């Protein structure tokens, strides 16, 4: 983990409500594992006072630059959009947290994301592709222009199923996956951006007897376990949901097993 004033390569509109920031941060990019995140602050500004956490969306092939796809939510992301021009600098700490685990013998996985939660998945899919693992992607968003990363996953030739609320067909993006999983075995499932989807994925993974992981989002300050500002209750025994403990999302997560965070 390091803190760096990273030169901004570009900061441009991505699609819908989302922006894409690329910075030069060679040590962070080189060390980053899929599912880890960075904690960002606007250089020289006291507003917002606390850093804002973001998944790393992509890492360049030379592993010198990293991208963050972000949704404009409040003061911090509005200022990121307005005050981080190309040739400016961005105060970055990272890589932070524990990311996804990709089983060594995995042959086929499924990734499932909703909205800007999808931003946690491309680094995982990049690694899976590099290892020759087949990926099935299920992406959902409110509107078509708020779907991200479809092009990234499709460029690998992986099947991508999309679903938007405006299609108004009802159901979940995971419905076709439920059907497919009756005839096709997966080695792991990864979900981000929706507890409802996480619950559906947990059911499929349990039926197949394989792990499912979820990348959690929680308000946080330091990002490395010091301030205890992002503590959540997690299950510590899969077979006895009475057993629980408090854990920092930033340090013990943001990736957890679905059974750890889905409470009955
Ligand atoms: C590990 C991690 C990875 C993340 N990755 C991404 C990413 O890749 N792209 C992205 O756009 N966002 C991501 N987020 C969420 C992002 O950190 C928040 O959207 C951002 O901090 C909002 O800052 P703001 O100052 O614009 O809004 P604020 O003014 O802080 O908040 C505006 C509103 O949004 C709510 N809010 C803010 N942050 C969160 C949160 N974390 N969970 C629930 N509600 C929240 C607040 O309660 C408030 O109502 C991630 C969060 C975590 C913890």
Residue pair 189/205 in contact by the 8 Å Cβ criterion: yes
The minimum-distance atom of ligand 1 relative to the CA of 119 is: 8
The model's pLDDT over 177-231, given as tens digits with 9 standing for 90+, comes to 999 999 999 999 999 989 999 999 999 999 999 999 999 999 999 999 999 999 9
CA angle 160, 111, 16 (to 5 degrees): 65
Can you point out the beta strands (E) in 97-235? 108-114, 134-141, 160-164, 188-192, 212-215, 231-235
Domain covering 2-96 in this structure, CATH number: 2.40.30.10
From the CA of 185, how far away is ligand 1's center (Å)? 34
From the CA of 220, how far away is ligand 1's center (Å)? 9
Q: What percentage of residues in the chain have a pLDDT greater than 90?
A: 88
Please give the pLDDT value at position 46.
Answer: 86
For the CA atoms of 21, 16, 144, 58, what is the dihedral angle to 10 degrees?
Answer: 0
C-alpha closest to that of 50 among 13, 17, 11, 76: 76
The minimum-distance atom of ligand 1 relative to the CA of 97 is: 1
What is the pTM assigned to this prediction?
0.95
Q: Do domains 2-96 and 100-215 have the same CATH topology?
A: no
Site to probe by mutation for ligand 1, drawn from 73, 152, 191, 225 as the one with most ligand atoms within 8 Å of Cβ, is 73
- Domains in the chain: boundaries: 2-96, 100-215
The model's pLDDT over 109-148, given as tens digits with 9 standing for 90+, comes to 999 999 999 999 999 999 999 999 999 999 999 999 999 9
CATH 3.40.50.80, domain 100-215, yes or no: yes
Phi-psi region of 136 (alpha: psi -120 to 50; beta: other; left: phi over 0): beta
Please give the pLDDT value at position 94.
Answer: 97
The model's pLDDT over 24-40, given as tens digits with 9 standing for 90+, comes to 999 999 999 999 999 99
Mean pLDDT, the chain, whole residue set: 95
Q: Which residue has the tokens 């559906």?
A: 200
Band of the pLDDT at 45, cuts 50, 70, 90?
A: confident
Residue spans of alpha helices (H) in 84-220: 122-130, 150-155, 175-180, 195-208
Kindly state if the Cβ of 71 falls inside 6 Å of ligand 1.
yes
Of all protein residues, the one whose alpha carbon is nearest to atom 35 of ligand 1 is 73
């Amino acid at each position: 983990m390091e803190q760096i004033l990273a030169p901004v390569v570009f900061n441009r509109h991505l699609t819908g409500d989302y922006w894409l920031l690329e910075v030069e941060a060679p040590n962070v990019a080189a060390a980053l594992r899929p599912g880890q995140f960075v904690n960002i602050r606007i250089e020289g500004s006291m507003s917002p006072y606390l850093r804002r956490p973001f998944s790393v969306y992509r890492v360049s092939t030379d592993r010198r630059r990293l991208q963050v796809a972000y949704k404009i939510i409040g003061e911090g992301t509005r200022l990121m959009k307005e005050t981080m021009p190309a040739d400016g600098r961005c105060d970055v700490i990272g890589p932070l947290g524990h990311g996804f685990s990709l089983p060594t013998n995995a042959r086929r996985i499924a990734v499932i994301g909703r909205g800007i939660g999808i931003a946690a998945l491309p680094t995982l899919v990049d690694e899976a592709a590099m290892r020759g693992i087949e990926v099935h992607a299920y992406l959902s968003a409110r509107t078509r222009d708020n779907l991200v990363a479809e092009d990234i996953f499709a460029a690998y030739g992986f099947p991508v199923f999309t679903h938007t609320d405006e299609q108004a067909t009802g159901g979940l993006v995971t419905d076709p996956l439920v059907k497919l999983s009756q005839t096709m075995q997966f080695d792991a499932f990864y979900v981000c951006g929706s507890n409802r989807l996480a619950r559906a994925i947990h059911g499929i993974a349990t039926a197949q007897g394989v792990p499912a992981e979820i990348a959690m989002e929680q308000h946080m300050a330091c990002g490395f376990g010091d301030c205890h500002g992002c503590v959540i209750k997690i299950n510590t025994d899969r077979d006895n949901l009475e057993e629980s403990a408090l854990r920092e999302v930033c340090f013990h997560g943001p990736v957890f097993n679905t059974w750890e965070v889905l409470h009955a």
